[in-house]
Amino acid sequence: EEYIRYRSFDGSEITAFTATPETGYNAAVIVIHEIFGITEFIRNVARRLASLGYLSIAPNLYSRRADLFTEQNIMTVMRRFWSLPPERRTDINAIKEFMNSLTPQEREIVNELVINRESTEERMINDIVSTYNYVRDTYKPRKIGIIEFCMGGGLAFEAMTRVPIDAGVIYYGRSPRRLDDIAKVRGAILAIYAGEDPAINQGLPDLMKAIITYKPRFEMVFYPGTYHAFATEGGPAYNEAAAKDAWERTVNFFRKYLG
């Protein structure tokens, strides 16, 4: 395993954690992180994939400001934000009041991940597309998959509408912003959801309509009684039984579509 660097769409340098199988590989899997960045959990996912025979690469989507956007800094600020009642998280006055309680560096994190979230995610999606192109051109695998968690799930779902990824496993990620873009998906999708995750699950009825309309290869599994991020080992919502079952499904899915 090692950290590598490559150029993204705008010329910026991206850092990525990679794990390479000792026995060679025919396929690669891009690992997209949660809101907290390249954590030990994400590195372990990459390691697990390498042990299965896949080249795995986890780009740091905060590479441009890696000094500020560390796991600890993001966790400290966002947990304070998430402590606000859900109805206040979209209230302009409540957000202004919250921002006034922060340091300038903390405000930058909130600006990036809350206030300007849509533009931040668009840049991150373009970074994922650049990562796909880099993996395709540099390592030349026969097939490329993607796996993603939480925030990364929504980003990768969007990326699948822009480049021909062969297989994507989406752990409780939001649906693409423009559901008609599902018509552009070329690979197979495995979507994994927590039963108690209203922010994500409220979008599922419209997603199902789009799936029925555009007919991508789509599988879905729903875990009743679990919460968002239930697969993150060491996290507050971790559910061992559901996480192990979801990982077994993930492995079988990648074997089916990536070899």
For the annotated catalytic residues, the residue numbers are 150, 197, 228
Whole-Å CA distances, 43 to 37, 39, 153, 162, 184: 10, 6, 16, 25, 30
Closest CA to 161 of 185, 144, 178, 180: 185
Q: Which position has the token pair 């480049």?
A: 163
CA 235 to chain centre: 16
Residue 177 φ then ψ, to 5°:
-65, -35
Q: Is 170 helix (H, G, I), strand (E, B) or coil?
A: strand
